[in-house]
């Protein structure tokens, strides 16, 4: 979340000895080779839940049970009641798959979370350093006897996941067994309830008609569209909820036909005002029929049983439980993403304006959070994800989550990385900055500069409309590759308007859709030196048309995040003249847009700091350093 005073407050906290938690870095990971095994205090004892799960497995005649880390809508962020993976393993990372047999249990996750998993899991669990279905299947073939069945909840499997398991197990004489009643839920005695809240609302009819037009124009002539991802329904009806942490979504499905709309949700939470808003008491094509959330299977089955129907689904976010009901195949139409997701990805002029404004108007939220107890930012709905605040070796974990055992005292001798964002009624923010309050090493400065070069190279790129992000992603890595460095995460993701901070299908990965004007994406290269430091520079940019000398229909990125980079970490001798020119122009933009807003909010000292840190760079020389303006604030 953009905030200059926020960085200043943290720098002051470091220099005045403000404690970020007692350091306890040594022996924070389990050691299962010792007798008895060594477990840190952060490890969770999972013996009881494993015992009870295995008891549930026996009467079902399954040799193994797969526990994905998602929910029935294949969401990235999930509600506490859907954190089955964390309940069973103790591991709270955002990516992972667990498998339990009668004698073994294993977790698969990627390199971002290996250290975290060794801190949180007890020795009941093996850690598999892979995330591929083929790796899980290979382990299953080893551990499950021939002819054995492997249980799974079809609501938690995407179509591709189910297909990948089938392919990998096909010739092994092991098979999947669909079990819609989740076994983890049956042993999770204190599973959190759904929040008892109603939904908020705005207008929706034009969106419904737009999507129906896309259905009419499709040559395969679908008669219905099934929406399974939570942000699809939230966007279609301009509704928001609070079922999912950091994301304003609510549990729901939608079945849209040319003359009917079925909205499946927890009807006991629907207010009379919302019923009026959705025209829920009529039967016309713009009247929403409210159905119970748990009735989606029965209603879909009834619809599919009719002659001449064809249901359009987006395979990336439709769970297997819904997919397997749509038979025979001639009643099914698929695309990777639904027309709702692809339409939502391109923001209209109003959405672009307010999302840009959100990155200017909400600059000082964290400043007041740190310096004035009880301050609430106007239109704030809380953070857009769990803040990543990490210093020294903790910052080498790309998705570090602080605990009392691993937190560190901030010092001027270490790099500090903070990645945070906010949800506001006018937009969603996400930004990462890395700073050093003392004297960085030559390696730290070079690595930071090369990460910045990657950020700039993508940001200044001009490309034809329809270019895929994956085809330019290497620009963010090239400066690092030149000296043998790299990073293990993606280079960017879409961002919503008071929606998900990670909004698919926009971004730089192979399964993202081509870039078009009006899309918002993050640009966030990084570098992480294990047990030493981490660097990430993340900005949000909107894709805009640009005039070129000869060609038409070309695009570029316009950065809307407006926070200067730590000058003492920039070695300008490594930057090209074009990169320096881009950087100086970016700083001019910060001064032009942020200066008046800081004046308007009466943040004069913050403006002073901003002006000092956006001085133009020289076109030659080694480094540019402007000292931080330390404010004499009282912390409460």
For residue 276, the 8-state DSSP code is H
* pLDDT of amino acid 371: 32
As a whole number, mean pLDDT of residues 43-51 equals 96
- pLDDT tens digit string along 546-573? 999 998 899 999 999 999 999 999 999 9
Does pLDDT of 396 surpass 80? yes
As a whole number, mean pLDDT of residues 289-307 equals 97
Does pLDDT of 222 surpass 60? yes
Question: Which superfamily, per CATH, for 201-344?
Answer: Creatinase/prolidase N-terminal domain (3.40.350.10)
* pLDDT of amino acid 378: 64
Does pLDDT of 374 surpass 90? no
Angstrom CA distances, 609 to 432, 449, 569, 591, stand at 18, 22, 17, 11
* pLDDT of amino acid 463: 97
* Better-predicted residue by pLDDT, 631 or 594: 594
Q: How confident is the model at residue 409 (pLDDT cuts 50, 70, 90)?
A: confident
Distance of CA 277 to the CA centre of its chain: 30
* pLDDT of amino acid 625: 40
Q: What angle do CA 208, 213, 217 make, to 5 degrees?
A: 150
Q: How confident is the model at residue 597 (pLDDT cuts 50, 70, 90)?
A: confident
- pLDDT tens digit string along 138-165? 999 999 999 999 999 999 999 999 999 9
8 Å CB contact between 329 and 301: no
Q: Whose structure tokens read 């006897």?
A: 145
As a whole number, mean pLDDT of residues 233-239 equals 94
Q: Considering the chain, what is the average pLDDT of its residues?
A: 88
- pLDDT tens digit string along 491-515? 999 999 889 999 999 999 999 999 9
Angstrom CA distances, 133 to 97, 121, 136, 414, stand at 9, 21, 5, 38
Query: Do the first three CATH levels of 46-187 and 201-344 match, i.e. the same topology?
Result: yes
* Better-predicted residue by pLDDT, 17 or 474: 474
CATH architecture observed for domain 46-187: 3-Layer(aba) Sandwich (3.40)
* pLDDT of amino acid 620: 54
CATH architecture observed for domain 349-366+377-579: Alpha-Beta Complex (3.90)
Highest mean pLDDT among 294-298, 424-428, 602-606: 294-298
Does pLDDT of 461 surpass 60? yes
* pLDDT of amino acid 186: 96
Per domain, the residue ranges of the chain are 46-187, 201-344, 349-366+377-579
As a whole number, mean pLDDT of residues 114-126 equals 95
Does pLDDT of 32 surpass 50? yes
* Better-predicted residue by pLDDT, 417 or 381: 417
């Amino acid at each position: 979340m953009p905030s200059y005073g926020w960085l200043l407050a943290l720098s002051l906290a470091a220099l005045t000895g403000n404690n970020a938690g007692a350091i306890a870095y040594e022996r924070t990971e389990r050691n299962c080779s010792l007798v008895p095994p060594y477990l840190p205090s952060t490890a969770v004892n999972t013996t009881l839940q494993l015992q009870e799960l295995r008891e549930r497995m026996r009467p079902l005649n399954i040799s193994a049970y797969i526990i994905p880390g998602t929910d029935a809508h294949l969401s990235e962020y999930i509600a506490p009641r859907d954190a089955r993976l964390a309940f069973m393993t103790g591991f709270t990372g955002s990516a992972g798959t667990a498998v339990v047999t009668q004698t073994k249990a294993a977790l698969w996750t990627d390199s971002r979370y290996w250290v975290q998993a060794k801190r949180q899991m007890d020795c009941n669990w093996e850690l598999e350093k892979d995330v591929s279905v083929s790796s899980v299947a290979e382990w299953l073939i080893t551990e499950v006897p021939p002819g054995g069945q492997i249980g799974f909840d079809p609501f938690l499997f995407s179509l591709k996941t189910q297909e990948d398991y089938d392919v990998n197990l096909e010739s092994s004489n092991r098979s999947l067994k669909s079990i819609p009643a989740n076994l983890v839920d049956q042993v999770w005695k204190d599973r959190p309830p759904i929040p008892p809240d109603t939904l908020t609302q705005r207008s929706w009819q034009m969106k419904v008609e737009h999507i129906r037009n896309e259905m009419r124009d499709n040559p395969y002539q679908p008669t219905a569209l099934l929406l399974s991802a939570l942000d699809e329904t939230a966007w279609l009806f301009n509704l928001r909820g609070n079922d999912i942490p950091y994301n304003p979504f609510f549990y729901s499905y939608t079945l849209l036909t040319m003359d009917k709309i079925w909205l499946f949700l927890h009807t006991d939470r629907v207010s009379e005002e919302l019923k009026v808003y959705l025209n829920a008491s009529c039967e016309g094509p713009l009247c929403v029929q409210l159905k119970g959330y748990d009735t989606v299977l029965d209603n879909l089955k009834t619809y599919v049983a009719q002659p001449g129907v064809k249901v359009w689904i987006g395979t990336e976010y439709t769970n297997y439980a819904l997919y397997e009901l749509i038979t025979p195949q001639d009643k099914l139409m698929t695309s990777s993403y639904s027309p709702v997701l692809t339409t939502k990805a391109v923001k209209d002029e109003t959405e672009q304006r307010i999302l840009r404004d959100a990155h200017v108007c909400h600059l000082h939220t964290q400043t007041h959070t740190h310096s004035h107890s009880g301050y609430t930012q106007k239109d704030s709905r809380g953070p857009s994800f769990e803040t990543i605040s990490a210093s020294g070796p903790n910052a080498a974990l790309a998705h570090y989550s602080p605990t009392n055992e691993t937190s560190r005292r901030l010092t001027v001798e270490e790099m500090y990385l903070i990645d945070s964002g906010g949800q506001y009624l006018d937009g969603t923010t996400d930004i990462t900055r890395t700073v050093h309050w003392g004297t960085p090493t030559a390696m730290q400065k070079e690595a930071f500069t090369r990460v910045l070069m990657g950020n700039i190279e993508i940001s200044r790129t001009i490309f034809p409309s329809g270019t895929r992000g994956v085809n330019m992603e290497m620009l963010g890595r090239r400066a690092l590759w030149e000296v043998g460095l790299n990073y293990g995460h993606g280079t960017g993701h879409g961002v919503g308007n008071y929606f998900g901070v990670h909004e698919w299908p926009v971004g730089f990965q192979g399964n993202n859709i081509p870039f078009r004007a009006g899309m918002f994406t993050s640009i966030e290269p990084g570098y992480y030196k294990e047990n030493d430091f981490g660097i990430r520079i993340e900005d949000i940019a909107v894709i805009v048309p640009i005039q070129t000398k000869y060609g038409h229909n070309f695009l570029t990125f316009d950065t809307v995040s407006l926070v200067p980079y730590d000058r003492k970490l920039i070695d300008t001798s490594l930057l090209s003249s074009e990169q320096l020119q881009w950087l100086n122009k970016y700083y001019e933009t910060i001064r032009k847009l942020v200066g008046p807003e800081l004046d308007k909010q009466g943040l004069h000292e913050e403006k002073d700091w901003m002006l000092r840190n956006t001085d133009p760079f020289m076109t030659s020389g080694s480094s540019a350093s402007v000292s931080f303006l330390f404010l004499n604030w009282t912390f409460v």
